[in-house]
């Protein structure tokens, strides 16, 4: 990839990455505050200013390196929002609502991006290719994040929602998986596909668990954008 194309590609990812990852956490913070826990509020996290949620390594360095090396996927994270479950009005129910707020924000951002694509003719023609690319990538990234975070795997949001639905005893046992959450994700995203290639099997669970729902949802958003 020549330098000009590299700069174009990188800049079309900057806004989607920053908004998708950081506003996901902002939604957690805002919903926790509204439901009775002011922990994130006291830390200045109840804001939609992306800078307050940026993790220098996870939000900037990791996605940047993946872009520069031409990796086939993007991966990153923002600073997690602390939630004191005991301060919520109804801890089991409200924790599920706090968890669901993040993926819901990503779906909302995907909808906004799709609708903004309809306004591209209002912008200067020279800027249109950059705007179109940025908005399409915003739709894709936000949908991937929403689907991925709804998987019932610790420490993803889906695991918090599932824990709130399980009987109390079973939920406590399930919550103990949190300490192994990062290792579980690394295994599913990276190690299983590598093992599958060695033995001649398709063990890319990420593609099945995220790619299939993504393929099902994408046509709706393309239609919303005026391209379907």
Which of 12-16, 78-82, 157-161 holds the top average pLDDT? 157-161
Residues above pLDDT 70, as percent of the chain: 96
Can you read off the two tokens belonging to residue 41?
């509020």
Distance of CA 127 to the CA centre of its chain: 27
pLDDT at 109: 97
With bands split at pLDDT 50, 70 and 90, how would you rate the model's confidence at 177?
A: confident
Please tell me the distance from the alpha carbon of residue 133 to that of residue 97, in angstroms, as a whole number: 32
pLDDT at 119: 92
Residue positions annotated with a catalytic role: 25
Among the ranges given (2-11, 12-21, 92-101), the one the predictor scored with the smallest mean pLDDT: 2-11
- Tell me the residue length of the chain: 228
Tens of pLDDT, residue by residue over 47-61, are 988 889 988 888 888
With bands split at pLDDT 50, 70 and 90, how would you rate the model's confidence at 226?
A: confident
Tens of pLDDT, residue by residue over 89-143, are 999 999 999 999 999 999 999 999 999 999 999 988 999 999 999 999 999 999 9
Residue 176 reports pLDDT greater than 80:
yes
Tens of pLDDT, residue by residue over 58-87, are 888 887 787 777 665 666 788 989 999 999
Give the mean pLDDT of 147-155. 90
With bands split at pLDDT 50, 70 and 90, how would you rate the model's confidence at 1?
A: low
Which ranges of the chain does DSSP label H, i.e. alpha helix?
3-34, 39-42, 62-68, 91-117, 128-149, 157-165, 168-175, 181-186, 192-199, 205-206, 212-224
pLDDT at 66: 74
Which of 22-31, 75-84, 204-213 holds the top average pLDDT? 22-31
């Amino acid at each position: 990839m020549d330098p000009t194309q590299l700069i174009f590609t990188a800049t079309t990812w900057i806004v989607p990455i920053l908004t998708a990852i950081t506003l996901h956490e902002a939604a957690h913070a805002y919903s926790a505050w509204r439901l009775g826990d002011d922990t994130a509020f006291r830390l200045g996290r109840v804001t939609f200013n992306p800078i307050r949620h940026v993790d220098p390594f996870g939000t900037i360095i990791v996605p940047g390196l993946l872009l520069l090396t031409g990796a086939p996927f993007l991966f990153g994270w923002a600073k997690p929002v602390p939630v004191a479950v005991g301060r919520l009005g109804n801890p089991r129910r409200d924790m599920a609502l706090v968890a669901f707020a993040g993926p819901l924000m990503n779906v909302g951002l995907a909808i906004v991006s799709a609708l903004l694509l309809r306004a591209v003719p209002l912008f200067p023609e020279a800027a249109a290719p950059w705007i179109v690319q940025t908005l399409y990538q915003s739709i894709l990234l936000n949908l991937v994040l929403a689907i991925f975070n709804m998987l019932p795997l610790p420490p993803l949001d889906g695991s918090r929602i599932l824990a709130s639905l399980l009987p109390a005893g079973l939920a406590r046992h399930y919550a103990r998986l949190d300490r192994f959450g990062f290792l579980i994700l690394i295994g599913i995203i990276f190690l299983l596909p590598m093992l599958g290639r060695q033995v001649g099997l398709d063990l890319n669970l990420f593609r099945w668990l995220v790619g299939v729902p993504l393929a099902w949802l994408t046509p709706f958003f393309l239609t919303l954008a005026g391209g379907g």
